[in-house]
Amino acid sequence: MLKNVMPQRSVFFNLLTAHADRLVAAANATLRLITSLGNPSNDIAALIEEVNLNETSADGIKDEMIHLLYESFTTPINRDQLHTLTRDLDRVIDGLQSVANSIATHRIEVSTAQARELSSLGADACIQLNRAVIALGSRDRVDAITARCSEIETLETRGTDVMRHAVRVLFEREGDEAAVWHAIKMRGFYFMLRAVLDDCKRAARTIDEIVIENA
């Protein structure tokens, strides 16, 4: 019973790390998915399912963390901050799932350079987020955590520039009704890719707050 209310601090960080690992796996699958569009030899449905499976796995980890927070008498860092970070990580992988599923629901069959770049930036941001989460368990790695979070901010800024350029390109050319609907569809897709970077930045700022309050 005592182990339930006073678990070892490593349990919390292990769950956070496992959650962040699922983010990287989903982001990499999303990048492969977007890169594969237009290539008939690639199994698009299987890649979408890979993203969904990682999201389902992450949901299980999230539920386990929230249950642990509810039951535990003590936590290694502020309980609310652990809960917020868990929700932030969940928001990132939900965003990746939305991107993947929209490819099927919106019938996006061809990739673009801008979509590939946004997806690549999102995958890089997830890797940096993963490394920052791993470093949270070590009190002597404040500089490393801060550097990872700063890099995520930089990636998010780059993503904003890419998205603006992508949308501008979409509406530069006039066309028929089908071309207009395609532009509207792709604009929404770009915004979903950009939202993943936004959510990574939100999680990075939560990590920054944790570091500042526990320095």
pLDDT in tens, 123-172: 999 999 999 999 988 766 788 999 999 999 999 999 999 999 998 888 77
Would you give the DSSP letter of residue 72?
A: -
Is the model more confident about 22 or about 110?
22
* Lowest-confidence region among 18-32, 36-50, 94-108, 196-210: 36-50
Residue 174 banded pLDDT, cuts 50, 70, 90: low
pLDDT band at residue 2 under the 50/70/90 scheme: very low
Cα separation, 36 vs 23, in Å, equals 20
- Higher-scoring residue by pLDDT: 104, 183: 104
Is the model more confident about 204 or about 181? 204
**Are 135 and 141 spatial neighbours (Cβ–Cβ below 8 Å)?**
yes
Cα 31 from Cα 159, distance rounded (Å): 15
Q: What is the mean pLDDT of residues 41-69?
A: 94
Mean pLDDT across the chain, nearest whole number?
Answer: 89
Residues 85, 12: contact at Cβ < 8 Å?
no
Q: What average pLDDT score do residues 33-56 get?
A: 92
Residue with the larger pLDDT of the pair 74 and 118: 118
The span from the CA of 59 to the CA of 215, in Å, is 30
What average pLDDT does the segment 15-38 reach? 95
First to last CA, the chain: 31
Q: What is the DSSP-derived secondary structure letter of residue 42? A: S
Percent of the chain topping pLDDT 70: 92
pLDDT at 215 over 60: yes
Tell me the whole-structure pTM to 2 decimals. 0.90
Q: Compute the average pLDDT of residues 175-185.
A: 73
